[in-house]
Amino acid sequence: MKLEPERPTTRAEPPSPQPGDPEYERLRARLAELQAQQEMAASDKDDIEQCEGCGDEFDADDLNADGLCAQCEDDEASEEAEEPRPDMTTPEPATAEPASRRLHWLVVAPLSLWCLCWCAVNGYDYLYLTWRLFARLKWASFALLINPCFVIWLALFSSVVWAPLNLSWLPWGKDFKLGKVALLALFAPPLLGLALHYVGPYFYPITWGEDGHSMFLRYWPIIGGKGYN
């Protein structure tokens, strides 16, 4: 018995749906629904923006005008509160300083010479009176180290020498008014000289007895009368 080979059987394909068929309308509605979902997803993706502060993605409605989310906006506000605020008050206009000026040398030179002359006169008298202390006391001069009158004599009455010397340079400085310089240079040196002759005797460390020959060491000012005339 001769066997014939089997012939492959072909499967019949279902007919494609035609317009007007229910299956065609269902597929068409499904395709329209998918297209609508894709358009909605694309529109949602367009509304998503990135925060300028943290870099996360947020809806456009959740970001402020500067492109910051609520958390970044709060952090920025706290940092601004911690930073010191500059003083917004209006600064006062700077007043122009007057230009420095010097007195004319025809005025300065006589004033300086006047002070130097009084410095020489007062210095001679003061040094003579100081040297007379050591000449009179001799070895007893060591007692002057604990004598309050001698301390006052050195600390206070030595100004009759160095004050006129300092005043002699005053007229050569800047920004001094003529009246102030004239008063200091003209009246201060002679007043110091008068103080040396009329006030200094009551602070001189030695004084004399009633006979004019007995010498005493003075420890307290004024007590004992004048030390020199």
3-state secondary structure 35-88: HHHHHHHHHHHHHEEECCCCCCEEEHHHCCCCCCCHHHHHHHHHHHHHCCCCCC
Q: Which residue has the higher pLDDT, 224 or 202?
A: 202
Contact 112, 172 (CB under 8 A): yes
Q: What is the pTM of this model?
A: 0.51
pLDDT number for residue 87 = 54
Rounded CA-CA distance 22/38 in Å is: 25
Which burial class, exposed, middle or buried, applies to 58 when counting CB atoms under 10 A from its CB (0-12, 13-18, 19+)? middle
Mean of pLDDT over the chain = 76
CB 104 within 8 A of CB 83: no
Q: Is 118's pLDDT higher than 70?
A: yes
Confidence class for position 129, pLDDT limits 50, 70, 90: very high
Q: For the residues 97-104, what does the mean pLDDT come to?
A: 53
Sorting pLDDT into bands at 50, 70 and 90, what band is 1?
A: very low
Cα distance between residue 175 and residue 178, in whole Å? 10
Provide the pLDDT confidence category of residue 136 given band limits of 50, 70 and 90: confident
**Cα(146)–Cα(208) distance, integer angstroms:** 20
Residue 98 — pLDDT band, cuts 50, 70, 90? very low
